[in-house]
Amino acid sequence: MHAAKHPSLRPVIDLASASPGIVVRASTDRNCVYVSCVHAESNVCVSMVAAYSHLIRPAAEHSLQIGHAIFLLAHGEAERFFAWLSNGGDATRGLH
C-alpha cells in the first residue's frame, strides 16, 4: 500500500495489516501519533490509540507497540512506518 490520500492537514499513511480487510492508518500532529485500525471496505475506524512518537517501538516481527497496544502488520510495513515517522510523516522521502 502507498501513502493514503485523505482530506487531512496532517500527514497520513495506510499500512497493510496482518488481518485481511483491516488497514492500520497513522497520522501525526507535531510529536503525537494517532494510529487506528480501519475496516478497509467501509472505511470505518474500529479502534484508535495515540502516543508521543518517541514512545512507539517495534514489537516482535512486523509489529508496532504503541502504548499498551500492539498492531500486527504485513511483512515490511513496520519498517515503512518507521521510515515515514522518521521523515516527519512524509511517505515520499527515503523510501524505495
Residue 21 structural domain: 12-86
pLDDT digits (tens, 9 = 90+) for 50-96: 999 999 999 989 999 998 899 999 999 999 999 999 988 766 554 43
Average pLDDT over residues 29-45: 94
E-state strands within the chain: 12-16, 22-29, 32-39, 44-52, 56-58, 63-66, 69-72
Residue 6 lies in a domain: no
Q: How far apart are CA 89 and CA 47, in angstroms?
A: 21
Is 5 inside a domain boundary?
A: no
> Which pLDDT score, from 0 to 100, does residue 15 have?
97
Query: For residues 25 and 60, which has the higher predicted lDDT (pLDDT)?
Result: 25
Determine the pLDDT at residue 96.
37
The number of folded domains in the chain is 1
Strand-by-strand arrangement of the 44-52 sheet? 12-16, 22-29, 32-39, 44-52
Q: Read off the C-alpha cell for 32.
A: 503525537
What is the residue-averaged pLDDT of the chain?
A: 87
